[in-house]
Amino acid sequence: MAQETQFRIWPEELKEFCTRVFVALGVPERDAYITADVLVAADLRGVDSHGVARLKRYVDGIRTGMMRVDAKPRVVHETPTTATIDADGGLGQPPSYRAMEMAIAKAEKLGAGFVAVRNSNHYGIAGYYAMMALDKDMIGISTTNADVLVVPTFGRNAMFGTNPIAVAAPAGKERPFVLDMATSVVPRGKLEVYDRLGKPMPDGWATDETGVGTTDATRVLRNFATRAGGGLLPLGGEGELHSGHKGYGLALLVDILSAVLPGAAYADLVYPKTPDGKPLPANIGHFFGALRIDGFRPVHEFKADMDELITRIKNSPKAQGADRIYIHGEKEFEKQAEREANGIPLHEKVVATLRQIAVELNVPFSG
């Protein structure tokens, strides 16, 4: 097998390129920068599936009208500690950024703030928004529903997205705790790897069109394309033996907070299409929260205990053959430091796509 080529590109160059692409498509400059920043942040933290590899998805979404460049997000409901924003069918990142800013501002005044968003699109990595609270010595929360890929326990058809949950909490000398997890066993991308290799995937990842577990990745991906049934399994796997119903419950919780609460589309109502297959606005929803730590106890005491908790876990006995216990977010912080120092590696196919976008939009690209 021929070795795949990777290119290294500096984060700021990549961010500038993405910003120019969005501006060229008619996105206001501030919104373009926020969207680019979220995409590049994903690549910096090693979440390549949500980084600039997805740029074409946004370009196509704007060109088809599914993502509006002239969107005017507005607050449609508000109390001192809560709010709902209608994103007006635009890019998901700008209203999400503002929603988290609003949640933090409310928490600064009253100790806690929660803001939900409806009528939105894909917003990138959930952890980006949760981590916005860290600079204010707050705990941040972020969730979103997504395109339908996951079957409920004992179900035949996909009814949920991978519906991520992100929570960030500051520490003192240690790195912050940053949980950023999907509520499915694996993302769709892992099935695509096995499909390309022509190999059976592990048991417990997905079901076929009858709702029964399968190791045939190609069959599952084909069923996704035709909406024939089946899909990814919720966290825990098939049935109740390995607690798949718990992952299903978490996915449902995300739909409730992110979609039912603000009035967005939920379950298999997201990403609708016209009878002739033209995509309509996705109308997905997001949920953001900020908690002021000093509303519970002094911040320095909390951070000291966070440090002690983290070191206690990391210094506990290791399993045979293991030399390290990681805290959530730790690998991503280390990946970010390496990529800030050496550039972001991009697969040759991603670079080729970025070059194509650059030519089409007459935007300079250094890759």
Q: pLDDT digit of tens for each residue in the chain (367 aa)? A: 344 567 999 999 999 999 999 999 999 999 999 999 999 999 999 998 899 999 999 999 999 999 999 999 999 999 999 999 999 999 999 999 999 999 999 999 999 999 999 999 999 999 999 999 999 999 999 999 999 999 999 999 999 999 999 999 999 999 999 999 999 999 888 898 898 889 999 999 999 999 999 999 999 999 998 889 999 999 999 999 889 999 999 999 999 999 999 999 999 999 998 888 888 889 999 999 999 999 999 999 999 999 999 999 999 999 999 999 999 999 999 999 999 999 999 989 899 999 999 999 999 998 7
pLDDT at 6: 79
- The full DSSP string for 157-226 is B--B----EEEEE--SSSPPEEEEE-SBSS-HHHHHHHHHHT-PPPTTSEE-TTS-EE--HHHHHHHHHH
- Of the candidates 137, 178, 174, the one whose C-alpha atom is nearest the C-alpha of residue 314 is 174
Residues 6+ apart with CB under 8 A from 157: 151, 211, 229, 230, 231, 268
pLDDT of residue 128: 98
Dist CA 62 CA 154 (whole Å): 37
Number of Cβ within 10 Å of residue 199's Cβ equals 10
Provide CB contacts within 8 A for 220, sequence distance 6+.
191, 206, 207, 208, 214, 230, 231, 232
The candidate with the shortest Cα–Cα distance to 52, out of 110, 99, 97, 13, is 13
Q: What is the model's pTM?
A: 0.94
Q: CB–CB of 95/73 below 8 Å? A: yes
Measure the CA–CA gap between 307 and 179, rounded to whole angstroms.
16
Strand partners, 86: 74, 118
Phi, psi dihedral angles at 319 (to 5 degrees): -65, 155
Q: What is the pLDDT of residue 2?
A: 41
pLDDT of residue 5: 63
Domains assigned to the chain: 1-64+330-367 (1.10.1530.10), 72-183+235-315 (3.30.1370.60), 186-232 (3.30.60.50)
Q: Which residues contact 146 (CB under 8 A, 6 or more apart)?
A: 122, 160, 161, 162, 163, 164, 270, 284
CA nearest 132: which of 175, 183, 170? 170
Residues 6+ apart with CB under 8 A from 40: 11, 14, 15, 18, 51, 52, 344
| 4's tokens | 């795949």
Quote the pLDDT of residue 222.
94
pLDDT at 36: 98
